[in-house]
Amino acid sequence: MSDSTTDRPRVKAVEHLESLGLRSYAARTFVALVALDTGTAKSVSDTVDVPRTRVYDAVEELGEWGLVSVEESTPKQFRSVSNETAADVFEREYMNRISALRRALAAVESPERD
């Protein structure tokens, strides 16, 4: 991230992704893939501050969230899901967490409470 006009939106996107549960390298990798459309570990590493060897770990985490696809080529190519799909993934995750919280709180609630 070197151009200050592109830095601020990328930094904000990374911050939001981290607050939603992604680890730092995964958040940075996802933002790089959004900017690149398709990228290799090298191109991701060149775009954001993620060591090339850690891009693979980050892509694995993103894959667990359903946020990236991997093309088994040489070198491997990575592609992020659409912004809309990513937002849907996080929305579902947080709706599930809120539902779980409601159930947990209801289970500990005093029976005398209205």
pLDDT reading at 98 higher than 90: yes
Give me the mean pLDDT over the 25-46 stretch.
96
What value does the mean pLDDT of the chain take? 92
Q: Where does 4-81 sit in CATH, by number?
A: 1.10.10.10
Contact 69, 20 (CB under 8 A): no
Question: pTM value?
Answer: 0.85
- pLDDT of amino acid 5: 61
- Find the helix packing angle between 4-19 and 24-36, rounded to 10°: 130
Give the bridge partners for 69, in sequence order. 79
pLDDT reading at 3 higher than 60: no
| Ranges of each domain in the chain | 4-81
